[in-house]
Chain A
Amino acid sequence: DTAVSQTPKYLVTQMGNDKSIKCEQNLGHDTMYWYKQDSKKFLKIMFSYNNKELIINETVPNRFSPKSPDKAHLNLHINSLELGDSAVYFCASSPGLAGIRETQYFGPGTRLLVL
């Protein structure tokens, strides 16, 4: 009964390839997020979607394209992978309603290594 799941957990690939990371939540939440954690452990928001609509798009290269087929899924596709894309990518979700229920729940992370 995993709340927020991500696949794959580990991804090793060559520079220039295209890859996708999938995220699913079974919490019935309306809002989903992608965060990137770099090698120094710094966590930064990349995107958020509310009911399949893009809400937040931080300064992220357009090689990164999120896709939300429904409100329970938010996938991250990355084109032309670069060495600097190596990081841990976290998916998160929250109810989408104002208030303390806005706590975000995180997936287990996907460690991406670009060689």
Chain B
Amino acid sequence: AQTVTQSQPEMSVQEAETVTLSCTYDTSESDYYLFWYKQPPSRQMILVIRQEAYKQQNATENRFSVNFQKAAKSFSLKISDSQLGDAAMYFCAYRRKTNFGNEKLTFGTGTRLTIIP
């Protein structure tokens, strides 16, 4: 079974600084997808960024980028120029790739990110 581990329950960063959230996963699959979701106090789950395992290039979305190390099964999220609105729980998630496209997401336990003004 696939597992996702986020070893940092809490992180904090000064506004405008850069922070990296860690995620490791365990799978025997060779092709899969990885995601970072953000959950602010409003509880809404918001997709931040996604990565396809067969792509070597790291995904980027504006201030958000990932460091995907397939051999190490590591998928960290870097947030540059942190803003107060980035304060939230961040969840790393894994999804197996199939031909049917209805696979579940397996989530990590989350990292609570605090932004210090």
Which B residues between 35 and 58 are near A, CB-CB below 8 angstroms?
A: 35, 37, 39, 42-47, 50, 52
Closest to A55 in B: B102
B98 x A98 contact (CB < 8 A):
yes
- Is residue A102 contacting chain B, with contact meaning CB distance below 8 A? yes
A42 x B109 contact (CB < 8 A):
yes
Q: Per a CB cutoff under 8 Å, which of A41, A45, A88, A100 touches B52?
A: A100
Question: Beta-carbon contacts of B89-105 to A below 8 Å, as 1s and 0s?
Answer: 10100010111111111
Known interface pairs A43-B91, A50-B100, A98-B100; A104-B44 also in contact (CB < 8 Å): no
Q: Per a CB cutoff under 8 Å, which of B43, B104, B105 touches A108?
A: B43
Closest to B107 in A: A43
Q: What is the total number of residues of chain A having a CB less than 8 Å from a CB of chain B?
A: 34
Q: Which residues of A contact B64 (CB under 8 A)?
A: none
- Is residue A68 contacting chain B, with contact meaning CB distance below 8 A? no
Closest to B47 in A: A103
Closest to A110 in B: B43
- Is residue A109 contacting chain B, with contact meaning CB distance below 8 A? yes
- Is residue A105 contacting chain B, with contact meaning CB distance below 8 A? yes
Binding site for B on A (CB under 8 A): 30-31, 33, 35, 40-45, 48, 50, 55-56, 58, 88, 90, 92, 94-106, 108-109, 111
- Nearest 8 pairs between A and B by C-beta? A106-B45, A45-B104, A98-B101, A43-B107, A31-B102, A109-B43, A50-B102, A97-B101
